Chains A and B, each alone.
Chain A
């Protein structure tokens, strides 16, 4: 076989948006599989529903805005928004919560701000925050106690379908409840850590399934990093900030949620690798990414520990989305040919 040496310019396989987004979607699949394994088919059904809703809302708005529909649908950003929302929502959330969150995310958080690349906030998290503040009961009690761990086998495909679409709550009550983070936070004032971990939600060891979900998302995130779709800055600084806060402020596990639960429960890994790293709404400079990630980690710890909500990835990410343009303005790297980086704005200067 002859080795041809071609002279430059060489053509690259460019990283198009559609391909990046498809890779992100692929990287969530291990997490989706593990969630389905531990929490039943609810997650899968809601994810599919969210993706369909996302694509339909996107198509509707694009049509209203007289944009080419199939061209923009093919960039797969709506797909990823729907997918992430489906993964973030409780497995047995009723169908209208999924549809409402996803359509609000696409129509209000993304398209009203100008569509792909123009949204200041992470659309999936806007949708999630909307339903979280609107329906606190449905959003915090429809989590499934992992049936692989607890031994009951009620969350089969048809059961999940009937709970999600027909609201068959009487059967659902038997095996739905709060997440480990929620339970630990509210019961630790009454019980010791050892007693608490004997409960069904925890099942004696760590998180009752949640640790595998988080490890699967961690694996997906490392794959994205290896593919150079995300950089290490945001996940590392976010997890480090969360870990440091937890070690310094919450070292006593009879008083506060322990570090293992912080890192391997709730939406920590999904948030660190898939949500906080959203290329549109996150900080873009290297230093900025570190600050941005650390801010999310600190806010995550603060809201989880002292706030009213058991998990806080959505709020932490949205709050730091507010700060991202400001962080970017003050962390511009020195560009080639200039001796000093241009940071911030002078008085009277326009951005």
Chain B
């Protein structure tokens, strides 16, 4: 496998091969905890820590683990990092840990992480693996936060609520109430709203890709007026 440049790796993680929008991996936590920005960001950061750690470790041991037992080994590594993330959250952001509940331990089963470990980190040196982990995690987190923001705005008419859970008491007044006395739009808060929001984000990404492709195609081969005609008898003005 030809080694990719760091720039390509970054672009893959952030956009072209975004774990949430393109690979559609890790949808369970993605859909379950994105009710608000703070939940999404909390889970995104925890996932980032696990993903970077696991990519680094898997890359380190990639020449010492036989193929037959590589998946159990990877899962052990991921599980260890999830435990670390869980204990860290218990120590520093206990309320957020309570809010996210089961979805922190469930990071172990996030296919995006095992997918990166097996598809990338086990075949690449340390630096590309770490960059890949960081970029994939950023791509994942950005989607989480976007979806969280979308659902918080639609569901509760506010944004950045409860940020003190993650950033300490000084963040308590970050909350921006967009609509006063907003009737809670339960659909956006409940999981069905996450599916619809996710669908809209994927559609948006495809739309942007489509525009980019079309612009590139138009640039590469500018269409001449009349050039499609088999026999040109006169110039079309």
Contact = CB atoms under 8 A, between A and B. Distances in A.
Interface of A: 108, 130, 133-136, 138
Interface of A is mostly: helix
A133 B183 contact: no
A134 B186 contact: yes
B190 A133 contact: yes
Interface in B183-228: 183-188, 190, 192, 196
A134 B187 contact: yes
B196 A133 contact: no
A134 B155 CA distance: 9
Contacts of A108: 196
Nearest to B189: A134
A138 B184 CA distance: 11
A267 B190 CA distance: 26
A130 B187 contact: yes
Interface of B: 183-188, 190, 192, 196
A134 B196 contact: no
B183 A138 contact: yes
Contacts of A135: 183, 185-186
Closest 5 A-B residue pairs measured CB to CB? A134-B187, A134-B186, A134-B185, A130-B187, A133-B186
A130 B186 CA distance: 9
Contacts of B184: 134
Contacts of B187: 130, 133-134
A28 B23 CA distance: 47
A174 B212 CA distance: 58
Contacts of A130: 187
Contacts of B190: 133
14 contacts: A133-B186, A133-B187, A133-B190, A133-B192, A134-B184, A134-B185, A134-B186, A134-B187, A134-B188, A135-B183, A135-B185, A135-B186, A136-B186, A138-B183
Contacts of A133: 186-187, 190, 192
A30 B145 CA distance: 50
B136 to A, nearest CB: 29
A138 B183 CA distance: 10
B183 to A, nearest CB: 6
A165 B187 CA distance: 22
A254 to B, nearest CB: 34
A166 to B, nearest CB: 14
Contacts of B196: 108
B198 to A, nearest CB: 13
A130 B185 CA distance: 10
Nearest to A94: B183
Residue with the highest number of chain A CB atoms closer than 10 Å, among B185, B187, B188, B190: B187
A135 B155 CA distance: 11
Contacts of B183: 135, 138
Given A108-B196, A133-B186, A138-B183, 7 more contacts: A133-B192, A134-B184, A134-B186, A134-B187, A134-B188, A135-B186, A136-B186
A133 B187 CA distance: 7
A15 B121 CA distance: 63
Nearest to B199: A112
A135 B184 CA distance: 7
